[in-house]
Amino acid sequence: MSPREVTLRFEVPEVYRLVVQADGDGVIREARVVGEFVSRQIGTLVKTHYADPHKAIYVVERLCGACSHAHTLAFASAVEKALGIEVPLRALAIRTLGAELERIQSHAFSLSEIATAAGCHELERSLWGVWQGVTAILVEVSESRVHYGLNGIGGLTRDVPPAALRKARTMLATLQASIQALRGEFDRTLGERLAGLGVWSSQGEELPGTGPNQRASGSRRDVRKDRPYLLYAELPFDVPAREEGDSLARVSVRLEELLQSCTMAEEILKSIPAGAIQAENVDAAPGATLTAAMSVEAPRGEDRHTVALSREGEIRAFTIRVPTEDSIVGVAAALVGVPEADARLVVSSFDLCMSCFGGT
């Protein structure tokens, strides 16, 4: 049987395609995701045109609209590490807040895509309400909806006024209540359909990378726990995980993480320390290594940026490793044995991100 192309996408098109081979009964035997369409060679662009890290961070931010904070965080932290810059505590707290709010925003979007793929429009609308709710909080914190522009080399680009933080805390409480209500609704409407569908099995081995997909298949790895950064060493939180590896497990992990991130954001908002938001000196400290890598737990998993700088602080080398590089392997494995009609549902449960994938 010849390969057939299924158009699979965001509700808004042309991000990736899935090529499947199915048997006579419409059961998938082989699957491959093709997704270079929005790759913009950002790693190369940074080296050729944006050697100044203070400018490059804006290009790095545009690796992805769904996890731009994670990218700027990994990039800024790698540069800071390479130059020996100490970031003030207030900046670290607000960066952590941004990271957890971004996780809520990204998961709300991802879960609403799953609801769309399943044809559950009411559920999809409720989930989009969560996206809108957290976006409103982000507007308070960062004055932006999608690319927050909070991270700068050495700290934050601007401070967040105390009144905005107070307002964010009130809004977060409302949001948390609406997410609680949604959890049951997801199980009721989609639980049966997603259970056992599209299993990514670890087969007793450690799955590559980290992220909600891996944690739905028995992995416990999370960069926030394994190699803590920002305030994650002091911040109490669990890492939700499941063993089943099916679409339901992936959804459950994301729903748990939504609530977990709300609690974490609330915890941070309770006690954001006063003080500077920017390191005093952003030049290379004496004895700086000039080369460093930094991993962060982006909403989709480990996002790793590696930079090499010149003594003048110009970028000489830059590479990015994104979580979809691992998840895309999982999709291909999980689709085998799935009815063609459910392919889109399974793929959406993996929450692939094609704009940073192949972005270097």
Partner 1 sequence: MNVRVVNLGSCNGCELELLDLLHLEPGLRLCDRDDEAEVVLVTGVLTEANRARAERVKLRPGVPVLRIGSCGISQGLFLPPDGALDRVPDLGRSAARVVVGCPPASSEIAAALRSLCGGGAE
Partner 2 sequence: MSTQGVTIDQKLCDGCWACIRSCPSAALEARSAGRAAEITWNAGRCLFCRRCEAVCPKEAAGRAPLEGGEAGAPAEPRVLVRLSAWVCPQCGARFGAGPRRLYEGIAAEAAEGGRLLLCPRCRQRETFRAEMVGKGEGDRC
291-298 β-sheet, strand order = 291-298, 301-309, 315-321
- Residue 353 interacts with which of partner 1, partner 2, none, CB < 5 to 8 Å by class: partner 1
CB atoms within 10 A of CB 291: 14
User: For residue 244, what are the CA distances in angstroms to 195, 259, 329, 339?
Assistant: 9, 21, 17, 19
- Residue 239 interacts with which of partner 1, partner 2, none, CB < 5 to 8 Å by class: none
Residue 309 Cβ, how far from partner 1 at the closest point, in Å? 20
Task: Kindly tell me which of 58 and 237 has the beta carbon lying closer to partner 2.
Answer: 58
Task: Kindly tell me which of 138 and 248 has the beta carbon lying closer to partner 1.
Answer: 138
User: For residue 107, what are the CA distances in angstroms to 197, 203, 234, 334, 349?
Assistant: 20, 27, 24, 20, 11
Q: Which two tokens stand for residue 357?
A: 């994938």
Under 8 Å between Cβ of 131 and 111: no
Measured between alpha carbons, how far is 272 from 70 in angstroms, rounded to an integer?
Answer: 20
Residue 82 Cβ, how far from partner 1 at the closest point, in Å? 23
Give the binding site for partner 2 (CB under 8 A): 50, 54-55, 58-59, 139, 143-145, 147, 149, 157-158
Nearest to 257 by CA among 217, 222, 227: 222
Give the binding site for partner 1 (CB under 8 A): 7, 10-15, 36-40, 45, 48-50, 58-59, 62-66, 68, 109, 125, 128, 131-132, 135, 145-147, 353, 355
Residue 294 Cβ, how far from partner 2 at the closest point, in Å? 21
- Residue 126 interacts with which of partner 1, partner 2, none, CB < 5 to 8 Å by class: none
Residue 313 Cβ, how far from partner 2 at the closest point, in Å? 15
Four-CA torsion 286, 290, 296, 298, nearest 10 degrees: 130
Taken as a whole, the chain contains a residue count of 360
Residue 200 Cβ, how far from partner 2 at the closest point, in Å? 37
Q: Which two tokens stand for residue 324?
A: 């979809």
Nearest to 101 by CA among 52, 62, 150, 40: 150
Residue 75 Cβ, how far from partner 2 at the closest point, in Å? 13
Q: Which residues contact 187 (CB under 8 A, 6 or more apart)?
A: none
- Residue 319 interacts with which of partner 1, partner 2, none, CB < 5 to 8 Å by class: none
Residue 314 Cβ, how far from partner 2 at the closest point, in Å? 15
Q: Which two tokens stand for residue 292?
A: 């460093």
- Residue 157 interacts with which of partner 2, partner 1, none, CB < 5 to 8 Å by class: partner 2
Q: Where are the beta strands (DSSP E) in the chain?
A: 4-6, 17-22, 28-34, 151-152, 155-156, 291-298, 301-309, 315-321
- Residue 158 interacts with which of partner 2, partner 1, none, CB < 5 to 8 Å by class: partner 2
- Residue 132 interacts with which of partner 1, partner 2, none, CB < 5 to 8 Å by class: partner 1
Residue 159 Cβ, how far from partner 2 at the closest point, in Å? 11
Question: What does 148-215 look like in DSSP terms, one character per residue?
Answer: ---EETTEESS---HHHHHHHHHHHHHHHHHHHHHHHHHHHHHHHHHTTSS----TTSPPSS-SHHHH
- Residue 65 interacts with which of partner 1, partner 2, none, CB < 5 to 8 Å by class: partner 1
Residue 134 Cβ, how far from partner 1 at the closest point, in Å? 12
Put residue 55 in one of left, alpha, beta given phi > 0 → left and psi -120 to 50 → alpha. Answer: alpha
Task: Kindly tell me which of 131 and 186 has the beta carbon lying closer to partner 1.
Answer: 131
